């Protein structure tokens, strides 16, 4: 290999696009050539022993490369905030420490991570083991336990006709459900459904208890779901390693990997929506909506105020809830403290949406939210409004 060193110097203003006309005296060059093309051309000339052209194209190639490097730095400066380098370092420090510590802790307990085939991951996700369990209990004559197992399986496979049939069968045989083994404790959706049932029966005391429990569970489940998106110990056996030979930039690769994490966290936000059929608004606002009204009914105005406030942070324009909040405020001597863990979660959700929107683009995000709105804007019937005339009665469409 010959060395393509060029001795002659060309003055190029580094931060300005160099003027090719200064250099290209006797050749006309298309102005769009980049250093790959320029360099390739120079090599052709070199092989043809045309050293004048070799010199010229090599200088142009080097100048183009220099110019791009300068502009990269300028772009970076324009795009990064003051102190963003430091916050990036702190972010990674937190990420690395968290990851290493979690792995170490799990390794101490369980040794090497399991390498799981996809079918096992799926079976556990959709609670398939409960399908085998219900049949085994049935064979053993323990119909109560079989019923419980069937109910859990059906909850995760609501379209399974077989399990629907089983549940129907057991429900006729088992009258006393109180002795069921609690394999899985009631989750937020279970408590929500129980709360709504009590609410319909105007038993607001019980409704508040269930809905409050549902909210606590919602906060816990959502947090856990999000954490699972980035951490985990056992691994999918055929998982693809990121291609580290890919010479695209680190930032680019990282953003792509982080997109997967953010998509997963986004799904956590929708998880509960999907588990309650015929919701007229998203799960969390719906839950808060019932809860503020139930709390009001049992005269827990402080709690009703807190919940209505958080509802409005989700649906800021809602006139009925704004009126409700005004009413609650009027009933209290001083504004109560915020419901901090709920507020933090709502803020976390908002940031998740913002990060995902930054990655996939505002247009895509708008599209996703619009798809959702088709049902969000369905029936806004529930919000119970203070009747401004009588000042005590609430319009309640149920």
Ligand X SMILES: *[C@@H]1O[C@H](CO)[C@@H](O)[C@H](O)[C@H]1NC(C)=O
Instruction: State the residues that interact with ligand X by CB under 6 A.
Output: 25-26, 208-209, 212, 216, 243, 245, 300, 303
Q: Which of 333, 153, 356, 212 is nearest to 270 (CA)?
A: 356
* C-beta of 145 vs 309, nearer to ligand X: 309
Residue 219 Cβ vs ligand X, minimum distance, rounded to whole Å:
9
Q: Give the DSSP H or E segment for 385.
A: strand 385-386
DSSP state of 177: G
Residue 246 Cβ vs ligand X, minimum distance, rounded to whole Å:
8
* C-beta of 137 vs 296, nearer to ligand X: 296
* C-beta of 42 vs 292, nearer to ligand X: 292
Torsion angle of C-alpha atoms 95, 101, 107, 113, degrees rounded to 10: -10
* C-beta of 296 vs 303, nearer to ligand X: 303
* C-beta of 26 vs 32, nearer to ligand X: 26
Give just the sign of the alpha carbon dihedral 79, 84, 85, 90.
negative
Token pair belonging to 218: 């919602």
Do residues 166 and 132 lie in contact, with contact meaning Cβ atoms separated by under 8 Å?
Answer: no
Residue 26 Cβ vs ligand X, minimum distance, rounded to whole Å:
4
The residues, ordered by sequence, that sit 6+ positions from 96 with a Cβ below 8 Å of its Cβ are none
Residue 223 Cβ vs ligand X, minimum distance, rounded to whole Å:
14
Residue 39 Cβ vs ligand X, minimum distance, rounded to whole Å:
23
Mode of pairing for the β-strands spanning 115-116 and 235-236: parallel
Residue 176 Cβ vs ligand X, minimum distance, rounded to whole Å:
28
Residue 45 Cβ vs ligand X, minimum distance, rounded to whole Å:
16
The span from the CA of 270 to the CA of 12, in Å, is 56
The residues, ordered by sequence, that sit 6+ positions from 263 with a Cβ below 8 Å of its Cβ are 356
Could you tell me where the DSSP H helices lie in 177-280? Answer: 188-200, 204-230, 250-275
Residue 294 Cβ vs ligand X, minimum distance, rounded to whole Å:
9
Unique residue bearing structure tokens 């049939």: 165
Residue 111 Cβ vs ligand X, minimum distance, rounded to whole Å:
28
* C-beta of 82 vs 241, nearer to ligand X: 241
Q: Which of 180, 209, 184 is nearest to 197 (CA)?
A: 209
* C-beta of 138 vs 303, nearer to ligand X: 303
Q: Give the DSSP H or E segment for 235.
A: strand 235-236
Looking at the DSSP assignment, which residues form a beta bridge with residue 189? none
* C-beta of 52 vs 88, nearer to ligand X: 52
* C-beta of 23 vs 264, nearer to ligand X: 23
The span from the CA of 304 to the CA of 310, in Å, is 10
The span from the CA of 358 to the CA of 368, in Å, is 14
Residue 226 Cβ vs ligand X, minimum distance, rounded to whole Å:
20
The residues, ordered by sequence, that sit 6+ positions from 56 with a Cβ below 8 Å of its Cβ are 23, 24, 27, 42
Q: What backbone torsions phi and psi does residue 389 show, to the nearest 5 degrees?
A: -75, -55
* C-beta of 123 vs 203, nearer to ligand X: 203
Instruction: Tell me the CB-side half-sphere exposure of residue 35, using CA atoms within 13 A.
Output: 12
């Amino acid at each position: 290999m010959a060395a393509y060193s060029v001795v002659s110097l060309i003055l190029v203003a580094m931060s300005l696009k160099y003027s090719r006309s200064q250099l290209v005296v006797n050749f006309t060059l298309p102005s769009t050539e980049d250093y790959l093309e320029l360099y390739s051309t120079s090599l052709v000339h070199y092989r043809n022993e045309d050293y004048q052209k070799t010199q010229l194209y090599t200088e142009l190639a080097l100048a183009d490369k220099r110019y791009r490097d300068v502009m990269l730095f300028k772009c970076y400066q324009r795009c990064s905030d003051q102190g963003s380098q430091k916050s990036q370092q702190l972010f990674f420090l937190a990420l690395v420490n968290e990851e290493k510590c979690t792995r170490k802790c799990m390794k101490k307990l369980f040794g090497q991570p399991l390498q799981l085939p996809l079918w096992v991951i799926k079976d556990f996700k959709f609670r398939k083991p409960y399908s085998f369990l219900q049949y085994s209990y049935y064979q053993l004559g323990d119909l109560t336990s079989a019923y419980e197992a069937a109910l859990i399986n059906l909850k995760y496979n609501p379209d399974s006709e077989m399990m629907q049939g089983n549940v129907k069968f057991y429900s006729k045989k088992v009258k006393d459900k109180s002795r069921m083994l609690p394999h899985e404790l009631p989750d937020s959706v279970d408590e929500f459904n129980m709360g709504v049932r009590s609410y319909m029966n105007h038993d607001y005391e019980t409704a508040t208890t269930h809905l409050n429990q549902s909210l606590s569970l919602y906060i816990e489940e959502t947090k856990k779901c999000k954490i699972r998106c980035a951490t985990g110990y056992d691994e999918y056996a055929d998982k693809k390693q990121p291609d580290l030979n890919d010479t695209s930039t680190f930032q680019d690769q990282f953003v792509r990997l982080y997109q997967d994490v953010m998509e997963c966290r986004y799904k956590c936000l929708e998880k509960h929506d999907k588990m309650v059929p015929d919701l007229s608004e998203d799960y969390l606002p719906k839950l808060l909506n019932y809860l503020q009204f139930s709390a009001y009914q049992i005269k827990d105005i402080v709690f009703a105020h807190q919940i209505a406030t958080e509802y409005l942070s989700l649906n800021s324009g809602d006139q009925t809830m704004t009126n409700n909040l005004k009413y609650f405020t009027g009933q209290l001597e001083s504004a109560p403290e915020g419901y901090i863990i709920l507020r933090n979660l709502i803020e976390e959700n908002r940031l998740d949406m913002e990060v995902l929107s930054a990655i996939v683009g505002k247009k895509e995000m708008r599209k996703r939210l619009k798809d959702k709105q088709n049902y969000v804007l369905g029936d806004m019937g529930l919000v119970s409004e203070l009747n401004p005339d009588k000042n005590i009665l609430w319009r309640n469409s149920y």
